[in-house]
Amino acid sequence: MRIQVKQLGAVLSSRPAGREALLAVRSSLLRDVKKTEALELDFEGVDALTPSWADEFVTPLREEWGDMLHCVNTQNPSVKATLEFLKQIHAT
């Protein structure tokens, strides 16, 4: 299953928005997806990803999907920096 993150917005900012996005995605795209299936978050077209939004959206998905979660098209500087930052803080 691949989620086009840009469908949730180009400027992904604020914790409430991240939470809302996760709730929406869980009730629709992820409803019938098993945790044993690979889940891809495609960041193509995302202009800005803040750590607050990402911590509410990506972090719970990473906790549930573990190594089955893959983030792709992460070249945008803020996407790269934010995902790397989240990895660091959740590793400690």
Partner 1 sequence: MDMKDARIQKAFDWLGKENGENFLLPDEHCPTRDVFQGRLEKMNILLKNAHELNDIASLIVVIVGEIGNNAFDHNLGNWRDEVGVYFSYDITARCIVIADRGLGVQTTLKRVRPEIQNDCEALTIAFKEIVTSRAPEKRGNGLKLVEKMVLAQNMKLDVYSGAGHYGIEHGETMCSGEEKVYNGVIAVLKF
CB atoms within 10 A of CB 65: 19
Closest among 71, 85, 9, 5 to 38, alpha carbons compared: 71
Q: Are 40 and 2 in contact (CB under 8 A)?
A: yes
Q: Which of 5, 8, 22, 55 binds partner 1 (CB under 8 A)?
A: 55
Stretch that binds partner 1, among 24-32, 34-42, 51-59, 65-73 (CB under 8 A): 51-59
Stretch that binds partner 1, among 24-32, 33-41, 46-54, 64-72 (CB under 8 A): 46-54
Nearer to partner 1, 66 or 77 (CB): 77
CA atoms within 13 A on the CB side of 49: 29
Q: Is 23 in the site for partner 1 (CB under 8 A)?
A: no
Q: Are 51 and 14 in contact (CB under 8 A)?
A: no
Nearer to partner 1, 13 or 73 (CB): 13
List interacting residues with partner 1 (CB under 8 A).
10-11, 13-17, 47-52, 55, 76-79, 81-82, 85, 89
